[in-house]
Chains A and B, each alone.
Chain A
Amino acid sequence: MTIRPTYDNTAIVGVGQSAYTRRPEPGALAHHFIRDAVVAALDDAGMKLGEIDGLALSSMSIGPDQAVDVAWRLGLSLRFLHQDTNGGSSSISAFGAAVRAIEMGAAKTVLVAAGDATGLEGYAKLAANFNRAIRDHAAALGYGGPNTAYALLTARQMKHYGLDKSDYGHMAIAQRIWAAGNPYAVYRDPMTMDDYLNAPGVVDPLCRFDCVPVVAGGQAVILSAPDRTPKGRPKVRVRALGYSFNHDHQATDGLKTGASIFAKDLWEQAGAGPDDIDVASIYDDYPAMVVAQLDDLGFMPDHDAKRFIANRIRDRSFPVNTWGGMLSAGQPGGPAGCLNGVSEITLQLQGRAGARQVPDAKLGLTTGYGMTMYRYGATAGAAILERQA
């Protein structure tokens, strides 16, 4: 018998973020950015700090602290604590753990928070010592971080789908147009195809605009009982969750992500399909990974990525990464990026997305992807969120 979970006792009652900055002030810690996001989320939810009894935290730069140290510094006393440091999808994993904690009665109100402040130098150190595989077997080659892994993957994807550089350019440009409506995005000025195609090469075939700008920043989401949703706002509940870890042991071409493993189950849980999604946030550490996840999740049944980009993404008729995505808004470490997706879908479903609002969004999808253990990402997660009538 398959257990079909429901998440009727949980709603997203508040969201918040810190400022994103390319160059944090000396001494600025991940803790500071997480704090700013928590203050914003509490304010958004109309809640007091003392009401939080659970924390699910993702960060790659709070060390030597752990989640409980951050709880201490934030003045939180808890009965549920969860820490996930497994790369770019870790905060959507932490989000799922928080939802399940509330559904099982482990906590009433859980703060899901993520943030990083590595600076560029700290980022370079992190990239070269990401795990044993990278440190021992790749760093000496001049690997230089995940750009190399995704350059090789993008080359394979271009061959597989018959894509050109300009196809990825259309994706980056569309996200830049969305970013103009997001006051928090670090890059909001329009970008032309010439800008994109003439940008300096980073790792072939990736250019500067294919690689996320690393920023310092934090995100927070508060989950609680649906009746804690602030008055006047529609409730946002979780319709489905899907996760996959180490789906193919790094043994294939990496063109299919872990989302391919849980896609069928995710849509069955949701009682919906790709055509029902009004707005999506697809983890965009690189444009190629947006293509891969969209195909894995069934958005292109004919697997014609070129046509999907031309007909749905370029003209923004399929609203994907309406906050600009990490490519334009910035990547606040891997983990907080997908929490920004949760936040964005919540704002869209509640009609609070301002200049970038998608009309009458009822059902949204948000994903995470990451933990580039060796040749590509090993973790994937997704949540389908709905506006409750």
Chain B
Amino acid sequence: MSSLSTQHVLALHDLNVSDINLILDTARSFKEINERPIKKLPTLRGRTIVNFFLEPSTRTRVSFEIAAKRLSADGINFSSSGSATSKGESLIDTAKTLDAMNCDLVIIRHKYAGSPYILTQNMRAPVINGGDGKHQHPTQALLDLYTMREHFGSIEGLKVGIVGDIAHSRVCGSLIEGLSMLGAQVTLIAPPTLLPVAPEVLGYPGGTPVTCTSDLESVLPELDVAYMLRIQLERIEKAPFPSLREYARLFGINTKRMAMMKPDAIIMHPGPVNRGVELSSEAVDTAKNLLLYQVNAGVAVRMALMYLLLGGDADGTVS
């Protein structure tokens, strides 16, 4: 019997190695249930889980929603297109309001870094960070770790290249920590204008160090995983590179580059893919099973996290 060492999951580093393994193991049993015709478990019946989304993100929200429903929790969507403050209510006041309604778990997605922490200071329920600004997106990282672990059996020693907009990526904030914590060798691959100023701090203290390059082809043949980040087209006006065409030419995966990869190497992407940019259409078609596997794993990992944060044990009971 074991449980998580943390009440909230705001950042990947809130978890230790055994937490991560517990979540991934629990997710595996939920994933099996997700393959059954009847996918619903009574585990969290009567519990209220709030999806507090201050930034539109259909994919992540739906994934959490399905996860809550499969566990029989009452899922509430509380969304707002703008910031709460644009309605005149501060995040603190919104948190206190949610707290007064006795919800059991809150998932927050917000475009400002650190907002999940504000929730934890103003409510009693556990908080899961569903993505905060450019800071962290721990559930995405967990589903990616799940996918890699299932595929390769273990994360330790894997060579993972993360390609693209590292500087503006909350996925990186979490995923690099997780990989470094579990002993993978991470290489960040991006034009210098999309690398963070201090990439070394993205690793986990005491974990494997992170390296950087702007030459994709020089490292591609060694990689076990090419993790392609989505280029945020809306950020292009800042022009960190001259054109999508040139980006694709230097940092995209196409048929020619796929042929350079190890036979058992995999391509991953947090989605949605910009076809022809991060991945050519041929590359998407080759990788699509795994990309969909990531989405599928996302539900199981989020179920596991909800279940464990609400007092569930690895043996399937909820206290």
Say whether A and B bind each other.
no
Mark A residues whose CB is within 8 Å of B: none
